Amino acid sequence: MTLFASLFLTLFFIFIHKRYKFGSDDINSRKVHNLSTSRLGGIAVAGSFLISIFLESELDLFDVHIDLILIFFLVFTLIEDVKGILKPSIRLLAIIVCSFLLVAELDLSISNLGVPILDLFLENHTVSILFTTISLSLLANGFNLIDGFNGLVSGFSIMVLTILMMVAKEVSEPEIYFLCNTLLMSVLGFFVLNFPFGKIFLGDAGAYFLGLTAGVLALLLAQRNETISYWFVLALFIYPVYELVFSMIRRKFNEKTKTSQADDLHLHHLIYKEVVDCSYFPRKEFCNSATSVIMVIIACSSLLPVYIWADSPVILFSICIIFMAIYTSIFLKLR
């Protein structure tokens, strides 16, 4: 049902855009396509997910309070997709507030990383709550940062949610399995109309929502099972997290601009400019989508090891280091 609901809502927003130009991406000065396209695909993803879990009467983890927090967040970020008037600082504040509310409502707490010095600080409940809130906020921003080409965020999310489902099944977490499966179906309904033809985009609301929700599900899985390390969560999302951190450092020390200043110097932009030869493709959107395929392959190269060694902090930490080294070397080579 969730898949069809997502597909229906996605088609509905495509129709609304064609008829009324509502939610157009014309406000985005950095777009790499020519046609006006709807940015409301994220509302279809989030809407189908929230409707499905609301109708599930036996679900305890995501109650009505969680739904309300996510709905408030969606409405707020929708303003940016429709009007493009929210300052980065305002969006960041909204993400932090919603992340904190989710952490408090679900009693999420990263309290044991296996690093004595860090764990000493994380033993303090307030510090742990703040650290978890900041981690979720960074992840949501990271998802928005990598949302540049057809199927990139949604394709990456499909891979991540599939792994979360597999791990949840192995450790007997039926609720988390159901939530991951529901979100996966919501993404798939959007994905088939976003990739490869780019009929609709996620927009800020969709990217933020996916990062926030997937992050919460991963943290819940790690918190409820001692065999799963919190490093599993970082290794699973190392691509969007490192994209964000690397971009902030690059802007601050290399470009000498604000860390929140948007640009087209992310790795996916460089691959589009320097690696993908658009002359081989009959349509520009295929060139756009080919960039996503390359990036998803790079981003997902670490996911199989992450799944295999989900309970090994040392190996998971090593995977993070290796991925960051590969990302940085590719970036410097292309730049």
Task: Name the least confident of 15-24, 95-104, 123-132, 178-187.
Answer: 15-24
Of 56-70, 71-85, 179-193, which has the strongest mean pLDDT?
179-193
Residue 61 is predicted with a pLDDT of: 82
Question: Using one digit for the tens of pLDDT, what is the confidence trace for 189-239?
Answer: 999 999 988 899 999 999 999 999 999 999 999 999 988 999 999 999 999
- The two tokens of residue 90 are 């305002």
| 294: CB partners within 8 A, 6+ apart | 271, 275, 276
Compute CA distances 240 → 172, 235, 282, whole Å. 28, 10, 30
Mean pLDDT of 264-292: 86
Evaluated on CA atoms 52, 55, 61, 64, the torsion sign reads: positive
Domain range annotation of the chain: 2-334
Of 35-39, 56-60, 65-69, 310-314, which has the strongest mean pLDDT?
310-314
Backbone angles phi, psi at 24, to 5 degrees: -70, 150
* Mean pLDDT value across the chain: 90
Identify the band that residue 80 occupies on the pLDDT scale cut at 50, 70 and 90: confident
Angle at CA of residue 12, ends 91 and 189, nearest 5° = 75
Q: How far apart are CA 98 and CA 209, in angstroms?
A: 11
| Torsion-angle region of 31 (φ positive above 0: left; ψ -120 to 50: alpha; else: beta) | beta
Mean pLDDT of 56-72: 82
Identify the band that residue 115 occupies on the pLDDT scale cut at 50, 70 and 90: confident
Question: Using one digit for the tens of pLDDT, what is the confidence trace for 2-58?
Answer: 999 999 999 999 998 888 777 776 655 455 555 678 889 999 999 999 999 988 767
